[in-house]
Structure 1
Amino acid sequence: MAETASALGEFDFAGDDHVVPFQVEGLDVRGRAVQLGPMLDAILERHHYPAPVARLLAEVIVLTVLLGTSLKFEGKFTVQTKGDGPVDLLVADFSTPENVRAYARFDQALLDKAVAAGQTEPEQLLGKGVLAFTIDQGKFSQPYQGIVALDGTSLEDIAGTYFRQSEQIPTRVRLAAAELFDRDEAGKPRHRWRAGGLVAQFLPEAPERMRQPDLHGGDGDNAALAHKEDDAWTEARALVDTIDADELTDPQVGIERLLFRLFHERGVRVFSTRAVFDRCSCSREKIKNVLKGFSDDEIDASQENGEIAVTCEFCSTTYRFEVVEVASAAE
């Protein structure tokens, strides 16, 4: 379905859980922005993650949504971190056209120690490791994976490095997550999670304009000074850098208001929004097919009182099978 462009004000505001594609013709910039509310809250509250873990996973979910909704084909886009910090694994995937799921794995003892020491920034919780972006178009094609190091910088900066190294597209990513403590319609205390993000990319008609200064090679290397960044991208990046974290998560700001504040002097336009949903791809049939591949010894080791219980790490749904259901199929 073709996207429909409009000047700000001609569409209703997108609201939560809707990705807003945008274009700033005066700066040769295209991008997407989103605020996540109920969808994000459902994912995080299901697992009862500690606040530092929930906040970190929220940022990964936003990043996954921003990049996954750019896919022009049926498939799955996955963002995964693996590091040596207290939060050793984060996974979020987006299945076209609109389904999102995610989970986190962490060491409670290491997390408690980090919190006590005040080391709760994303880069401190993740430690050293890798961030992987995987695109899977299905069984008839090979998955593509791009990997960038977790090097002690923010997820925003690491994502920008990925685009610079793998696609040579100047890209700026902004991410934020926040807890909201307020009251519901009945006046009862309420706790909610919100997150937001924006990705802006420099896509001029002349590809040579996208060239950026070379990465610094170390002591004595002046190559980074060999090429000047395009003025349009310099301006766009500087504008994106003015975003406060609160603007990305505050429901009273909204994506359209934020885009107008940033780019109204350059003529920002928005396109038809894309809704995203908390939906897992697991099913009883899929898990049963996995169990059918187990050996008799594996089935025996997995069963308890004649039953095998399997819980999905993403959605926490537990599927129960009688041993005879899968043992007979494995013979």
Structure 2
Amino acid sequence: MVDIETLGPGSIDPAGDDAVLPFEVNGLDVRGRAIQMGPALSALLARHDYPLPVSKLLGEAVVLAVLLGSSLKFEGQFLLQTQTDGPVDMLVVDYRTSGDIRAYARFNKERVAEMDKDGLSKPELLLGKGILAMTIDQGEFSSRYQGIVQLDGVSLEEVAHIYFAQSEQIPTLVRLGVAEMITREDGGTAHSWRAGGMMVQFLPQASIGVQRDLPGGDAPEGHDADGEEADEWAEAVSLVSTVQDHELIDPEVPVERLLYRLFHERGVRVFDPIPVREKCSCSRDRIQGVLSSFSAEEITDSIEDGEISVTCEFCGAKYDFDPQEFLG
């Protein structure tokens, strides 16, 4: 744990890209996490030929899932998934507490192109109406926890606010930013992606130890969800609301410097960063195990050109199997 307000933002090693930085502001009873993503996000999006609006939307979903999933205090999985009637009818982000993340977007190419041509490719419009489900899985010996939020023309930032207000009853503010970066390289141009995010939550000291970020719980002691908001929380919201999108993603403004700008007068502490890396969990053995559970009829129906081919939607890896492995 490091006091940024005492040492200054330049006196500690920055977390850098692709690392979640937990922090707390005791003077405001606020805790949170912040991140800037670079190489991991670029690698994830490069696995698919997504249109720019879809890449940006999926990037927002990835940052949101990392901010939420990295709060888990146990080994497990956090899954964010949308099902909607929009041009992007499905987003799936799979975050493991090991730091591994993978993601996938399913979209209608013609509908996305039409909206983009008309200047209507805002994330909330690409999603359309439907649901967003957030699932926490602690393993085969524990029950899953799932929260569901209705999607109806709202952004992913707003979805997070709705979720915490309805299911968690914890005052929460989320900021997300994603942008494509174009740089000159070897006489041409290189494309990459950067993203950033910050989540702050009002958790008075009296409630720490009994209150969890995820899954849900009662409102913090002294907080009336239907009454006036606490002065400390109002101040935190006012400060975080000054953050511009470019600050969230700018490599010249690391998260430590941004946190110092926002909270140094109130006393901000940061904790050890949590690395994040783009890594798919698919494997030949895992897919073979799934196919082994198929009936003979299902195996036969899966045969094309004398073999069974399975392609991972997340990473694009292709696995070929001899049907006789499962029909013997």
Matched residue type, 1:204: P
Q: Give 2:290's aligned residue.
A: 290
Q: CA deviation at 1:167?
A: 1.3
- Secondary structure in structure 2 of the residue aligned to 1:266: coil
Q: Take 1:311 and 1:35, find their aligned partners in 2: how far apart are those partners?
A: 30
Count of residue correspondences = 311
Q: CA deviation at 1:317?
A: 0.7
Q: CA deviation at 1:188?
A: 4.2
TM-score, normalised by the number of residues in structure 2: 0.92
Matched, 1:252 2:252: yes
Q: Take 1:272 and 1:188, find their aligned partners in 2: how far apart are those partners?
A: 38
- Secondary structure in structure 1 of the residue aligned to 2:47: helix
Q: Give 1:210's aligned residue.
A: 223
Matched residue type, 2:221: E
Matched residue type, 2:44: I
Q: Give 1:220's aligned residue.
A: none
Q: Give 2:172's aligned residue.
A: 171
- Secondary structure in structure 1 of the residue aligned to 2:88: coil
8 A Cα contact 1:195 1:248, kept in partner: yes
Q: Take 1:71 and 1:189, find their aligned partners in 2: how far apart are those partners?
A: 39
8 A Cα contact 1:292 1:327, kept in partner: no
8 A Cα contact 2:82 2:133, kept in partner: yes
Q: Give 1:231's aligned residue.
A: 231
- Secondary structure in structure 2 of the residue aligned to 1:162: helix
Q: Give 1:222's aligned residue.
A: none
After TM superposition, the structure 1 = structure 2 runs for residues 90-129 of structure 1, keeping only pairs within 5 Å, are: 90-129=91-130
Q: Take 2:144 and 2:51, find their aligned partners in 1: how far apart are those partners?
A: 33
Matched residue type, 1:238: S
Q: CA deviation at 1:9?
A: 4.1
Distance 1:187 1:271, change over 3 A: farther
Q: Take 2:97 and 2:123, find their aligned partners in 1: how far apart are those partners?
A: 28
Cα deviation 1:45-76 (Å, max 9, x = unaligned):
11121100000000000001111111111110
Q: CA deviation at 1:153?
A: 1.8
* Runs ≥4 residues deviating over 6 A: none
8 A Cα contact 1:65 1:94, kept in partner: yes
8 A Cα contact 2:21 2:271, kept in partner: yes
Q: Between the two proteins, what is the percent identity of the paired residues?
A: 57
Cα deviation 1:281-330 (Å, max 9, x = unaligned):
111011011111222232222212321110011111111111112222xx
Q: Give 2:269's aligned residue.
A: 269
Q: CA deviation at 1:247?
A: 0.7
Q: Take 2:294 and 2:221, find their aligned partners in 1: how far apart are those partners?
A: 54
The 10-residue stretch of structure 1 (297-306 or 101-110) with the greater mean CA deviation from structure 2: 297-306
After TM superposition, the structure 1 = structure 2 runs for residues 18-57 of structure 1, keeping only pairs within 5 Å, are: 18-57=19-58
How large is the Cα RMSD of the aligned pairs? 1.3
Q: Take 1:247 and 1:40, find their aligned partners in 2: how far apart are those partners?
A: 17
Q: Take 2:3 and 2:285, find their aligned partners in 1: how far apart are those partners?
A: 44
After TM superposition, the structure 1 = structure 2 runs for residues 133-144 of structure 1, keeping only pairs within 5 Å, are: 133-144=134-145
Q: Take 1:148 and 1:210, find their aligned partners in 2: how far apart are those partners?
A: 23
Q: Take 1:208 and 1:305, find their aligned partners in 2: how far apart are those partners?
A: 64
TM-score, normalised by the number of residues in structure 1: 0.91
